[in-house]
Amino acid sequence: MKHPTETVEETSSVPPAESLSQSLKVTQINIDHFSSKVKQFGLCPFYSGATWGSDRFAQVVSQLETRSILQWIPLSRASRVLDIGAGGGRWSLSLVNTVGAITAIEPSDAFEALRKRLSVFKNVRCVHQSFEEFLDKERYDLAIISGVLMYILEPDHLKSFLAKAVEMLKSPGYLVLREPVVARGEKVKLGQVYKKSWSRSEIENCKYIDIVRPITSYVSICGSLGLRKVAQFASHAPVIKDPILGVRVLRDLQDRANERFVSMDNISCLRIAHRLLRKPYLWLGMLLNKQTMTIMIFQKRRAPRKV
Length of the chain in terms of residues written: 307
Domain limits at 192? Answer: 4-236+289-299
Residue 225 C-beta-side C-alpha neighbours within 13 Å: 27
pLDDT score of 21: 45
Domain of 177, CATH number, reads 3.40.50.150
Residue 276 C-beta-side C-alpha neighbours within 13 Å: 6
**Domain annotation covers residue 270:** no
**Domain annotation covers residue 190:** yes
**Domain annotation covers residue 210:** yes
The total number of structural domains that make up the chain? 1
Distance of CA 198 to the CA centre of its chain: 25
Residue 41 buriedness (CB in 10 A; 0-12 / 13-18 / 19+): buried
Do residues 105 and 144 lie in contact, with contact meaning Cβ atoms separated by under 8 Å? no
**Domain annotation covers residue 242:** no
**Domain annotation covers residue 254:** no
**Domain annotation covers residue 23:** yes
9-18: average pLDDT: 38
The pTM assigned to this predicted structure is 0.85
Alpha-carbon distances, residue 101 vs 76, 80, 222, 241, 298 (angstroms): 10, 5, 25, 33, 21
**Domain annotation covers residue 227:** yes
pLDDT for residue 166 is more than 70: yes
pLDDT tens digits, residue range 272-300? 989 998 999 899 889 989 888 999 999 99
**Domain annotation covers residue 229:** yes
pLDDT tens digits, residue range 78-102? 999 999 999 999 999 999 999 999 9
Preceding omega of 45 cis (within 30 degrees of 0): no
